[in-house]
Amino acid sequence: MSEEKRKRKRRKKRPESLRLKQNKEVIELVKTKSASRLAREKQLIRRTAALIVGVIAVLAIIILAILKPFHKADGIASDVEEVIEQTEETANVDEGAFSISEQEKEAAYARIKAVDGLEAAWEDSWLKKIDISGDTCDYLTIEDCVIMQEDTSKVKVEGILEGIPDSDSEDLYLFALNTYENSIPEGSEPADTYRIEKTDPKFVMYANLNHKQAGTRLFKKFVVAAKVGGRYQILGTSRYITNPEAIAKVDAYKKTSSVKGLIVDPNRLHGSELDDLGVKQGAYNIPLGYIMGGTTSANKSTIYYDYGGKTYAFNGQAVAEFDIVFGTLQKKGIQATAVILNNSNGAYPELIHPNARSASQSWYYMFNGSDAAGVNAMAAAATFLAERYSGAHGMISNWIIANEINATKEWNHYAAVDHYTYADEYAKGFRVFYNAIKSVNAGAKVYMPLDQTWNRNLNNGDYDGRDILDDFNSIIKTRGNINWDLAYHSYPVPLTNAAFWNTGSYAKYTTQSVDTPMVSMKNVNIVTDYICGSNFLKDDGTTREVFISEVGFTSTSGEAVQAAAIAYAYYICEKNPHINGLIINHETDDGLQLSQGLAVGLSHANGAHKYAYEVYKHLDMADSLDYTKFALDVIGASSWADLVKYW
C-alpha cells in the first residue's frame, strides 16, 4: 500500500468533529502568525520612511545653498545639523521601539517555526487527489438524503469526501437512479453539480422531488459521480430518501389499549360480534390482483387514478368491499392492519417480478422493483390505498408488505437464488411501498413479514427467517435507514399442535438458543431479543417493534387446549415490551384451513361459539385471570408468573 493511501486511511478513521476542530485551531494560529508578521512589517516601514525623509531634507538644504550663494556657510551647516539631529531622533525612537533581547528573539523564532509547522500540517489536512480507477466505490459517503422541511419540493443530499477525485474537473455530479439501475445511463443529465473545496471534505447538493409526476424521485436512489474521460463514474454507495413522511398530509395512527387482535370475518362485520369480543386490532388481506383493473359491477364504476404520468384502473366493486371492511373497523374503534398481497394480475402483470412469472404453486409473487413499469404500478397502488384508507373510507394503521416472504415456495414466489439476492429484490419493492405509504400518512407503520422457520438450513427452496431478516436489515441500513418493523408468524410446531408448550419429539425445534431451528409462541422471545440488537436499531436509537400479525391454534385436539393456548399467547405478548400486537387466526373456522386439519376459529363455521370465544373475550378485562385460571391446569403450571417472561 502506498504512503498516500495509508495517509488517506488514517484520515478516514479520524472523527470528523476532531478533524474540523484541529483545522480551526490551525487557522487561528496562522492568523496570529500573519498578524505578527504584519506588525513587524509596519515598524520596518516606519523606520525606513523616517530615514528617507531625513535624506530628502538634507538634499533640499544643499540644493538651496547652491541656488543662494549669498547664504552664509555656517547657516547652512546649522540647518543641516538640525535636520540630521531630528532625523536621528526619529530613527532612535523607532529603533528603541523595535529592539528586543536575544532571549525574546529566540522565543519569537521558535514560535514562528512552530506556526510554520502547523501551517504545513493544516495544508496537509486538505483533501488530496485520489485515484478512482480501481474497482472499489468508496471514495465518498452520502450521509443524508432527505426531503427538505423548509421546501418539500426539494431533496437535499449531504455527504463527505475521502479526497479530490482524479477526474476531468474538481466537480461532483448528483444523479437519481431507478431502483434497478447500478450505473448511470448514457445521456443522463445530473440533477446538481458541486465544486469541491479542498479545505472542506463535506458536500451538499439538491434535486427536485417531482412528487407524483412522471419521473418522480420519491422512489429513486441518489448517487454522486465524477467525470473521467468524459464519462460519469459513481464514487460511493447509493442512498434513498429516508423521510418520505415530510410530504404527508396525514399523521395518524390508531393506538390500542391491548394487543388483542383478530383476523376478521367480513361476513360478521355488521353484527355485534366484534364489539362483544372486545377486539382491539383487526387484520385483513388486500390482494392487488383483486382490486386493480376495470370494475366487475354495473353499480360500481371503475375508479381511475393518475400517478407518475399514467392512469391506473381500480375495480370499483372490489374497492367498495374493502371500504366496508376498513370503514367498519374504524367506526368500531378497532385498529386496522392490511396485508398487501401480489397475486396473479391480468390487468397489471408488471406488478409481478419477471423472475417470478414462471409457473408455481405459490399463492403470491415477488413484487417487481426491476423495471420502470413495475415500480410505477407499485407506487400507484400503494399511494391510492394509503390515500383512500387514511380517514375518508377507513384508517389503516399497519401495512404488511407481502406474506411470510422467507417461505418463497408457498407465499412469495421467485426464481431460486441465494438468500441475499432474494432479500435485495424484496427490499426494492418494500421501499417503494414504504415511501408511498409514509408520503401520505406519516403515522402509519410498515412491516416486513416472516414465518416461524428461523434457522433450519434445509436448502429446500425456502429461506430461513433469520437470514432474510439479517440481509434485509443490512440492505436497508446501507442505502438509507428507515423505520420498518417486523411482522412475525409464531405458529406452533407442528401447526396441528395447539399445545405449543408441550412439543414432545419436536422440542428440539423450539429451543431457547438464538440458533433455534424454529420460533413458536414458546420461544418468541428469541426474535424480540434478537431484533433489539444494536445493528437493528432505528436512527433515533429506538428498537424495532415485533407484531405477531398471525398465529392460530386448532381446536381439533380439544377446545380447552385451544383456549389455553390463546390465553397463554396473549399473556406472552401483552407482557413482552417489544411486541405491539397479537392477531389470532381466525374469527371463524375457514373451509380451506379445515381441509388441512386446522380449525383455528373462535367460532365454528356455522357461527357456534367455541370455548375459546369466551376466554378471548375476557383476556384484557378486569376478570381476565378468572377466565384463564383453567389454562394453568391444562398447561401444567401453578401460576402465570412461572410461565411468562416479564410477568
Does residue 570 surpass a pLDDT of 60?
Answer: yes
What are the residue ranges spanned by the domains of the chain? Answer: 3-125, 130-241, 258-642
CA pair distance 378, 368, nearest whole angstrom: 8
Instruction: Using CB atoms within 10 Å of the CB of residue 569, give its burial: 0 to 12 exposed, 13 to 18 middle, 19+ buried.
Output: buried
Q: Which CA distances in Å does 256 have to 292, 424, 437?
A: 31, 33, 21
* Residue 212, helix vs strand vs coil: coil
Half-sphere exposure at residue 309, Cβ-oriented, CA atoms within 13 angstroms = 9
CATH class of residue range 258-642: alpha beta
CA pair distance 458, 461, nearest whole angstrom: 8
What's the pLDDT at 110?
74
Task: Cell numbers for 137, please give them.
Answer: 466505490
List, for residues 149-185, the tens digit of each pLDDT value: 999 999 999 999 999 999 999 999 999 999 999 999 9
* 522 confidence band (pLDDT: 50, 70, 90): very high
What's the pLDDT at 17?
44
What's the pLDDT at 117?
67
What's the pLDDT at 7?
43
Mean pLDDT of the region 367-387 = 98
List, for residues 440-462, the tens digit of each pLDDT value: 999 999 999 999 999 999 989 99
CA pair distance 162, 183, nearest whole angstrom: 21
CA-based max dimension of the chain: 145
What's the pLDDT at 8?
43
Does residue 25 surpass a pLDDT of 60?
Answer: no
* 582 confidence band (pLDDT: 50, 70, 90): very high
What's the pLDDT at 53?
54
* 46 confidence band (pLDDT: 50, 70, 90): low
List, for residues 307-349, the tens digit of each pLDDT value: 999 999 999 999 999 999 999 999 999 999 999 999 988 899 9
* Residue 251, helix vs strand vs coil: coil
List, for residues 50-81, the tens digit of each pLDDT value: 556 555 655 655 555 554 444 444 444 455 45
Cβ–Cβ under 8 Å, residues 436 and 487 = no
Between 464 and 57, the higher pLDDT residue: 464
* 39 confidence band (pLDDT: 50, 70, 90): low
CA pair distance 308, 379, nearest whole angstrom: 8
The residues that bridge with 518 in the sheet, in sequence order, are: 453
Cβ–Cβ under 8 Å, residues 203 and 172 = yes
Instruction: Using CB atoms within 10 Å of the CB of residue 635, give its burial: 0 to 12 exposed, 13 to 18 middle, 19+ buried.
Output: buried
Cβ–Cβ under 8 Å, residues 434 and 482 = yes
* Residues ≥6 apart with Cβ < 8 Å to 570: 259, 260, 582, 616, 619, 620
What's the pLDDT at 10?
41
Mean pLDDT of the region 214-221 = 96
Task: Cell numbers for 226, please give them.
Answer: 465524477
Give, in degrees to the nearest 5, the angle at Cα 477 between 474 and 483: 115
Cβ–Cβ under 8 Å, residues 46 and 68 = no
* 16 confidence band (pLDDT: 50, 70, 90): very low
Does residue 91 surpass a pLDDT of 70?
Answer: no
* Residues ≥6 apart with Cβ < 8 Å to 232: 173, 175, 184, 188, 190, 225, 226
Give, in degrees to the nearest 5, the angle at Cα 626 between 622 and 631: 125
Instruction: Using CB atoms within 10 Å of the CB of residue 67, give its burial: 0 to 12 exposed, 13 to 18 middle, 19+ buried.
Output: exposed
Task: Cell numbers for 491, please give them.
Answer: 405458529
What's the pLDDT at 60?
57
130-241 matches 258-642 in fold: no
Q: Which CA distances in Å does 376 have to 370, 484, 524?
A: 11, 21, 37
Cβ–Cβ under 8 Å, residues 431 and 472 = no
Task: Cell numbers for 248, please give them.
Answer: 404527508
* 202 confidence band (pLDDT: 50, 70, 90): very high
Does residue 44 surpass a pLDDT of 80?
Answer: no
Half-sphere exposure at residue 597, Cβ-oriented, CA atoms within 13 angstroms = 6
Pick from 585, 557, 558: which is nearest to 569 by CA? 585
List, for residues 604-628, the tens digit of each pLDDT value: 999 999 999 999 999 999 999 999 9
Between 208 and 646, the higher pLDDT residue: 208
Buried b (16+ CB within 10 A) or exposed e, 166-176: ebeeeebbbbb
DSSP 66-130: HH-TTS-HHHHHHHHHHHHHHHHHHHHHHHHHH---HHHHHHHHHHHHHHHHHHHHHHHTS--EE
Residue corresponding to grid cell 492568523 = 31
CA pair distance 402, 287, nearest whole angstrom: 9
CATH class of residue range 130-241: mainly beta
Cβ–Cβ under 8 Å, residues 486 and 448 = yes
Specify whether the backbone of 394 is left (phi greater than 0), alpha (psi in -120 to 50) or beta. left
Pick from 218, 206, 244: which is nearest to 375 by CA? 218
List, for residues 105-118, the tens digit of each pLDDT value: 677 677 766 766 66
Task: Cell numbers for 555, please give them.
Answer: 381446536
* 586 confidence band (pLDDT: 50, 70, 90): very high
Cβ–Cβ under 8 Å, residues 602 and 587 = yes
* 359 confidence band (pLDDT: 50, 70, 90): confident
List, for residues 114-137, the tens digit of each pLDDT value: 766 666 665 666 788 999 887 667
What's the pLDDT at 106?
75
The letter for the amino acid at 210 is N
